[in-house]
Amino acid sequence: MHARRRGIASSVRPYRKEVPEWSNSDAKEIEAKIIELRKQGMTCAQIGLVLRDKHGVPNVKLATGKRVNAIVRENNLDMDIPEDLRNLMHKALLMRKHLENNHRDIHNARQLQLTESKVRRLVKYYVGNKRLPSGWTYKPETAEILLSR
């Protein structure tokens, strides 16, 4: 969106409609493991990686019929700020800290503008979908406090 060039091709997960026979496909066991990992403080992305690498579950949605995020939400274990928004806010916070020491870094200043623009667009989306309260806005001054929770 912000670059003046086309995207490049990248790797894609193999297309499957059913669970491979070699994988762990017990839905109740997988859901219990997801809940356990979330209670340990892992994000949904980290949970997916652990299930893939350590427990032989290549695709949670094929095995359970639901995504990791949906399972976490059903059990009321989701974060107050969505994971993708939290990651962007963390990135913007690190850029601001960098700019405090490096005032003349114009490339990073531009990247900070683009990142905070993405944050504001994502906040607008989540407020519209009622994942965030209606008056919620992104403020760089309070971002560090929000991310520490």
List pLDDT tens digits, range 3-60: 777 777 778 888 888 888 888 889 999 999 999 999 999 999 999 999 999 999 999 9
User: Do 72 and 34 contact (CB within 8 A), yes or no?
Assistant: yes
pTM of this structure: 0.83
User: Do 72 and 38 contact (CB within 8 A), yes or no?
Assistant: yes
C-alpha to C-alpha distance for 53 and 56, rounded to whole angstroms:
6
Q: Locate 95 and state its tokens.
A: 């850029």
